[in-house]
Amino acid sequence: MFHQLVSHNDDIRRLVEKGYAIAFDSNYLVIRDIPYLDSERKLQIGAIVAKLEFIDQNRVTQTDHQICFAGSVPHGQDGTPIPNLGGGPTQLALSEASKDVVVQRSFSNKPIATGKFQDFFEKIESYVGIISGPAMALHGASPYTFRAVKEVVSDSVFEFHDTLTSRAEITDLSERFKDDVIAVIGLGGTGAYVLDFMIKTPVQEIRAFDLDPFHVHNAFRSPGRVEASELGKTKAEVYLSRYSNFRKGLSVYPKFIDASCSDDLNGVTFAFVCVDKGSSRAEIFDLLISKGIAFIDVGMGLNRKKGPLNGMLRMTYYSAEQGQKVRDMGLAEIVDRPQDMYRANIQISELNALNACLAVIKFKQLRGFYSEELPNYNLLFEVGDLKIAGASKFDED
């Protein structure tokens, strides 16, 4: 990535040619060997960290006029803190390769004339002049060390740089998904949205399964753009084509999961079950429980008795330890009812998306990405009153 960015960004190239110790890490520009004075006017060495906003795969720009700094408060030659740096104490998670760069504060200093830096070269030169100027004058120190810093090799699963995570400064939280292998079983209305959300989550691998064809009605309850050429193909073909350019580690199989599919789930760490047939759900449940795989099952029941639609959405979590116990509660339909062939099976895209949201949020709570006040294993959302009821405690045996 180093040579790629330097060759396509003139401002980065100028920083390298001037002698800055440049590196890239977690979508940040890292500049080490920045001299400054502490409160006793002793020479210290810090580092500047600035966010990168990727325009495309090769070109970057600034997100704002601020920087982060790894070091204590810089002081002037008179031993007082350098004024007009703004900002304050902050923390920023970088990768293990940059463990020597411990961000402690942010600085905010806009150019007086324009209020905005033209590019990274102007931005870094300005901040280095302010931070390092006193150390350069008093100790003859220089930030231009021409030091070659070992490049941080990105092992991102995404084909595009995940600047959403770095902009929000939640890189450390996103790291919690890196070892997950996810199965999405069923790519109907809700399953399609679960897949879409997981595609954008930095899990190691995603395996999705559905044998059904993609028809017009599916287009009305699936995320993203629809092409006429997709109609009639398997859902597996359609979704693999849509997402294969977004991330690595994606496999979509044109098959149903049943009791004979144990090998397909080897190595899976978590599963989402998004099927609407009771007998299929029962076989999938038993297979996942027997393999000790935690999973979430979703369901939707909408009806129109008089006037507007009403109904419920359900999200049920089956942990590896309590999966059988939750299954025995009968929270999800696991048989095919005789009247099901006459059922309208109403599904609406926004409710499919909401059902998927409940499932994915719960999964991310389990991984510590979101906070969780109550460990609910079952959630029911009623459309009519927009209320959610949750169950978090098991009845005593």
Cα(151)–Cα(25) distance, rounded to whole angstroms? 8
> Do residues 22 and 16 lie in contact, with contact meaning Cβ atoms separated by under 8 Å?
yes
Six token digits for residue 225: 């753009």
Contacts of residue 109, defined as CB under 8 A and 6 or more positions apart, other chains included, come to: 65, 84, 85, 86, 126, 127, 130
Cα(315)–Cα(392) distance, rounded to whole angstroms? 12
Cα(234)–Cα(97) distance, rounded to whole angstroms? 43
- The confidence score (pLDDT) of residue 342 equals 46
Six token digits for residue 246: 């977004």
User: Which parts of 304-346 are beta strand (E)?
Assistant: 310-318
Cα(377)–Cα(371) distance, rounded to whole angstroms? 15
Cα(135)–Cα(43) distance, rounded to whole angstroms? 6
Six token digits for residue 383: 């459309």
CA 211 to chain centre: 28
> Do residues 321 and 288 lie in contact, with contact meaning Cβ atoms separated by under 8 Å?
no
Which DSSP symbol is given to 230?
A: G
Q: Domains plus CATH for the chain?
A: 1-158 (no CATH), 179-391 (3.40.50.720)
Cα(271)–Cα(39) distance, rounded to whole angstroms? 55
Q: Is this structure's pTM higher than 0.85?
A: no
Q: What is the pLDDT along the chain (397 residues), one digit of tens a residue?
A: 677 788 889 999 999 999 999 998 868 899 999 999 999 999 999 999 999 888 887 888 988 899 999 999 999 999 999 998 988 899 988 887 788 999 999 999 988 888 899 999 999 999 999 999 999 999 999 999 988 776 554 557 877 656 555 555 667 788 889 899 999 999 998 999 999 999 999 999 999 999 999 999 888 888 988 889 999 999 999 999 999 988 999 999 999 999 999 999 999 999 999 998 888 999 999 999 999 999 999 999 888 887 898 889 999 999 999 999 999 999 998 887 765 544 556 788 999 999 999 999 999 999 999 999 999 999 999 999 999 999 998 765 4
Six token digits for residue 350: 């926004």
Return the number of other C-beta atoms located less than 10 Å from residue 189's C-beta.
Answer: 26
Cα(344)–Cα(96) distance, rounded to whole angstroms? 53
- The confidence score (pLDDT) of residue 270 equals 98
Which phi and psi (to 5°) does residue 124 adopt?
-70, -40
Instruction: Find the radius of gyration of the CA atoms of the chain.
Output: 27
CA 171 to chain centre: 8
> Do residues 121 and 15 lie in contact, with contact meaning Cβ atoms separated by under 8 Å?
yes
